[in-house]
């Protein structure tokens, strides 16, 4: 693999981790009711690092913004590197990198609106939707870069089933996000109000889980290259099981355990990233057989 592609793939892999952290910290900020802990934007209490006002809630909101800033700077570095080495890279990579920068800028704008407009549910949900789109895009980009320019095409069903599972899990996550940002679950459990969001979230969990299970099952039964992806395939299936268990536990405890709620959001984001990576994986190109020169002086001694 070309060295610049490998370095860009490594950068993208680190960005996936940062984006997952960004989504999870954002979820923790909501759970801890810290969305307005910093009343101004982009600074926090008029400074980059608040001192006297610092507590857990302020730290969560401040660190969420810091992570977003780091992600934005890393995407700018990626864009600059792609432009510099554009002659040695696929033509689509430069506009795609520019699109990622545009997306993270829009994400920052939505983050500002959530503070300046006092956490409107629609804006917060759009903020989550764009964050998941970034996770999917960068996770898929990592695999495309790692596959190399001469990778073989995957089986026709692979990107379709993988993409369907990504869409299903993302839609389920957004339903959960919309339910959470409108505090519908709490109102339903405490007063029996706005229960339709909780009902839709629970009802769609089964088809979303089945979509992932079908993708994993078909891949394992198909054999060959598809079955060789079993570590990530089984990881995706394990994350589905963990997600269902966390969701059930969260509701049974009446949303009284913030750690369970944050864990639920973490597993959902990890599942989206893993499924996006699987969907964009491609088989390696078949190696060209080399002729063996028996009288070459560079041949090493063959043992056994």
What is 139-170 written as a DSSP string? HHHHHHHHH-TTPPPPPTHHHHHHHHHHHHHH
Do 158 and 144 share a structural domain? no
Q: What is the pLDDT of residue 296?
A: 41
Can you read off the two tokens belonging to residue 239?
Answer: 């994350």
Contact 80, 11 (CB under 8 A): no
Q: Is residue 119 part of a domain?
A: yes
Predicted pLDDT of residue 289: 44
Residues 178 and 199 reside in one and the same domain: yes
The two three-digit tokens of residue 279, written as one number: 């969907």
- Residue 168 sits in the same domain as residue 181: yes
Q: Is residue 166 part of a domain?
A: yes
Indicate whether 70 and 98 sit together in one domain. Answer: yes
Cα–Cα nearest to 166, from 212, 199, 219, 120: 212
Beta pairing partners, 44 = 47
| Domain's final residue, options 150, 172, 199 | 150
Q: Do 37 and 76 reside in the same domain of the chain? A: yes
Q: Are residues 161 and 243 in the same domain?
A: yes
Residue 298 maps to a domain: no
Domain boundary among 122, 150, 178: 150
How many distinct structural domains can be found in the chain?
2
Q: Are residues 47 and 121 in the same domain?
A: yes
In a domain, 291, yes or no: no
Q: Residue 299 domain-assigned?
A: no
What are the CA-CA distances from residue 143 to residues 33, 45, 147, 153, 202 (Å)?
Answer: 36, 41, 6, 13, 32
Please indicate, yes or no, whether residues 62 and 126 belong to a single structural domain of this protein: yes
Domain residues for 134?
1-150
pLDDT of residue 287: 60
Query: Of 101, 119, 150, which one is at a domain's C-terminal end?
Result: 150
Do 188 and 261 lie in a common domain? yes
Nearest alpha-carbon partner for 131 in 184, 181, 193, 177: 177
Dihedral (CA of 185, 189, 190, 191) sign: positive
| Helix, strand, coil in percent for the chain, rounding step 5 | 75, 0, 25
Structural domain contains residue 292: no
**Residue 47 β-bridge partners:** 44
Task: Kindly state whether residue 293 falls inside one of the protein's structural domains.
Answer: no
Low-confidence ranges of the chain (pLDDT < 70): 1, 118-119, 149, 287-304
- Nearest 5°: phi and psi at 44? -125, 110
- Round to whole Å and give the CA distance between 8 and 46: 36
Contacts of 299 (CB under 8 A, 6+ apart): 293
What digits encode the pLDDT tens for the residues 150-176?
778 889 999 999 999 999 999 999 988
Same domain? 6 vs 39: yes
Torsion sign (Cα): 178, 182, 186, 189: negative
Q: Are residues 117 and 172 in the same domain?
A: no
The answer to whether residue 248 sits within a structural domain is yes
Query: 6 and 75, same structural domain?
Result: yes
* Count of Cβ atoms closer than 10 Å to residue 66 Cβ: 16
């Amino acid at each position: 693999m070309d060295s610049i592609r490998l370095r860009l793939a490594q950068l993208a892999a680190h960005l996936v981790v940062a984006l997952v952290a960004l989504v999870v910290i954002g979820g923790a900020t909501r759970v801890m009711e810290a969305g307005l802990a910093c009343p101004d934007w982009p600074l926090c209490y008029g400074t980059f690092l608040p001192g006297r006002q610092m507590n857990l809630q302020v730290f969560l909101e401040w660190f969420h913004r810091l992570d977003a800033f780091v992600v934005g700077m890393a995407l700018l570095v990626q864009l600059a590197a792609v432009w510099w080495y554009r002659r040695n890279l696929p033509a689509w990579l430069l506009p795609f990198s520019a699109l990622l920068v545009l997306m993270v800028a829009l994400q920052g704008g939505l983050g500002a609106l959530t503070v300046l407009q006092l956490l409107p549910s629609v804006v917060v949900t759009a903020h989550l939707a764009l964050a998941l789109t970034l996770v999917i895009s960068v996770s898929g980009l990592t695999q495309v870069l790692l596959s190399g320019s001469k990778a073989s095409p995957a089986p026709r069903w692979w990107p379709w089933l993988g993409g369907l599972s990504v869409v299903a899990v993302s839609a389920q996550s957004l339903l959960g996000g919309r339910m959470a940002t409108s505090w519908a679950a709490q109102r339903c459990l405490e007063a029996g109000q706005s229960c339709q969001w909780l009902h839709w979230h629970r009802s769609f969990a089964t088809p979303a889980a089945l979509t992932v299970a079908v993708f994993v099952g078909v891949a394992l039964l198909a054999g060959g290259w598809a079955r060789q992806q079993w570590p990530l395939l089984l990881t995706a299936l394990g994350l589905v099981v963990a997600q269902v268990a966390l969701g059930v536990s969260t509701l049974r405890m009446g949303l009284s355990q913030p750690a369970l709620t944050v864990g639920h959001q973490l597993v959902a984001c990890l599942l989206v990233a893993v499924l996006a990576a699987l969907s964009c994986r491609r088989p390696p190109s078949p190696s060209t057989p080399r002729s063996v020169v028996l009288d070459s002086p560079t041949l090493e001694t063959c043992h056994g």
